[in-house]
């Protein structure tokens, strides 16, 4: 079935704040979504259905069965195939809206590739699960004067904030330092799909406001809520701090990679190794690994099981090793089975 734009977006165009002119602006827009988990996949689906012309989806991970409870763009076949999330998302979006362009990137956003991956984006949306990447996005956005929207969800809690460089506070204004010590994650505290969906809906709406030019209606607070306990709060972030490292001093330490480790914990009792980039021949390494455990691959990802560990290898040499949080063990397994 072929739909005209008039048919597809008719109910959205009837909304007076968007109208025909706003819909045209959406069609010409280019948005980057960093992370395609619970929040990012929902945001991607909402903006795709709204007719945002180009969506660039950047995600380092692959679909697992535990994702299906809350990550709206994926299904059981994606999990069985261990498809990279950005690839699976692009396929699902193409099935319900062939009118837009989706650019999937299976990558971990780093200081080395951020210029390439975010080039040309007019707006950056947060779908990540860690402050390390959020501070990196914040440095880039402040330096380039690009708007971005921070969003996060865990358990029944959600939080989001619009960052408009030169107008509002940035992430480093509100959180000068990354949270230290232990704090809740989806792997330790769980997550309600409704919490992730709520924060994603707010993030997508704020994005639409910016894209159609309704910036005067954008929220200028850090909004947080707890759906289970019926709590809600807002903190004003209308102005940047004069002593902010990023806004005031223009010291972009995360862009420079000064505080970025090469081996990181990434949830799910896993360690990610991304210290080197080198092309991997999946056919060749499959033959090498078969005597040592179970191995299978598609064009996007290779999975290798050797009890009690599971190694997921990407074509650029990046790996996620599941079954340990000990970086020394992860590095040893990588060196042993992939190479040092």
- The rounded distance, in Å, linking the Cα atoms of 117 and 135 is 16
161 with 237: CB under 8 angstroms? Answer: yes
Instruction: Please identify which residue in the block is written with the tokens 């078969």.
Output: 290
Show pLDDT as tens, one digit a residue, over the chain (340 residues).
678 888 999 999 999 999 999 999 999 999 999 999 999 999 999 999 999 999 999 998 999 999 999 999 999 999 999 999 999 999 999 999 999 999 999 998 999 999 999 999 999 999 998 888 999 999 999 999 999 999 999 999 999 999 999 999 999 999 998 765 445 667 667 899 999 999 999 999 999 999 999 999 999 999 999 999 999 999 999 999 999 999 999 999 999 886 555 566 656 788 888 766 678 899 999 998 999 999 999 999 999 999 999 999 999 888 999 998 888 888 888 888 887 5
Residue 267 belongs to what H/E stretch? none
User: What is the reported pLDDT for 340?
Assistant: 58
User: What is the reported pLDDT for 90?
Assistant: 98
245 with 232: CB under 8 angstroms? Answer: no
- The rounded distance, in Å, linking the Cα atoms of 151 and 35 is 11
> What is the dotted CATH code of the domain comprising 5-236?
3.40.50.720
181 secondary structure, DSSP code: S
3-state secondary structure of 86: helix
Q: Select from 41, 5, 34 the least CA-distant residue to 197.
A: 41
Q: Select from 289, 283, 268, 290 the least CA-distant residue to 334.
A: 289
User: What is the reported pLDDT for 175?
Assistant: 94
Burial of 229 (0-12, 13-18, 19+ CB in 10 A): exposed
One fold for 5-236 and 263-337: no
Give percent helix, percent strand, percent coil of the chain, each to the nearest 5: 35, 20, 40
pTM over 0.95: no
User: What is the reported pLDDT for 182?
Assistant: 45
- The rounded distance, in Å, linking the Cα atoms of 57 and 253 is 25
For the beta carbon of residue 135, count every other beta carbon within 10 angstroms. Answer: 24
Cα of first residue to Cα of last residue in the chain, in angstroms, is 52
- The rounded distance, in Å, linking the Cα atoms of 309 and 53 is 41
Q: What is the dihedral of CA 226, 266, 125, 198, to 10 degrees?
A: -20
Pick the CATH number of 263-337 from 3.40.50, 3.90.320, 3.30.310, 1.10.3470: 3.30.310
Domain boundaries, the chain: 5-236, 263-337
CA atoms within 13 A on the CB side of 273: 27
User: What is the reported pLDDT for 184?
Assistant: 66
């Amino acid at each position: 079935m072929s739909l005209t734009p008039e048919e597809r977006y008719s109910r959205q165009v009837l909304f007076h704040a968007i109208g025909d002119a706003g819909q045209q602006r959406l069609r010409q827009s280019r948005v980057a979504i960093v992370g395609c988990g619970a929040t990012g996949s929902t945001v991607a689906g909402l903006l795709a259905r709204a007719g945002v012309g180009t969506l660039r989806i950047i995600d380092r991970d692959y679909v697992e069965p535990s994702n299906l409870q809350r990550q709206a763009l994926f299904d059981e076949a994606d999990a069985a195939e261990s498809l990279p999330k950005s690839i699976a998302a692009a396929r699902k979006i193409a099935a319900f809206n062939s009118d837009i362009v989706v650019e999937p990137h299976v990558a971990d956003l780093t200081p080395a590739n951020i210029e390439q991956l975010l080039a040309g984006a007019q707006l950056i949306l947060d779908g990540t699960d860690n402050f390390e990447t959020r501070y990196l996005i914040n440095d880039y956005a402040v330096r380039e004067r690009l708007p971005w929207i921070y969003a996060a969800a865990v358990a029944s809690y959600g939080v989001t904030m619009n960052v408009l460089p030169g107008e509002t506070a940035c992430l480093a204004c509100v959180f000068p330092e990354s949270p230290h010590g232990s704090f809740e994650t989806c792997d330790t505290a769980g997550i309600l799909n409704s919490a992730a969906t709520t924060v994603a809906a707010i993030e997508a709406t704020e994005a639409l406001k910016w894209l159609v030019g309704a910036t005067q209606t954008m929220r200028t607070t850090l909004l947080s809520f707890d759906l289970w306990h019926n709590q809600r709060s807002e903190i004003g972030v209308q102005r940047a701090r004069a002593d902010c490292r990023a806004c005031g001093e223009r010291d972009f330490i995360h862009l420079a990679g000064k505080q970025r480790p090469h081996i990181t914990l990434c949830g799910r009792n896993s360690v990610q190794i991304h210290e080197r980039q080198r092309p991997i021949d999946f056919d060749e390494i499959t033959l090498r690994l078969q005597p040592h455990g179970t191995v299978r691959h598609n064009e996007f990802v290779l999975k290798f099981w050797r009890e009690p560990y599971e190694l997921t290898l990407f074509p650029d040499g990046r790996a996620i090793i599941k079954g340990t949080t000990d970086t020394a063990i992860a590095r040893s397994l990588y060196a042993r089975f992939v190479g040092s």
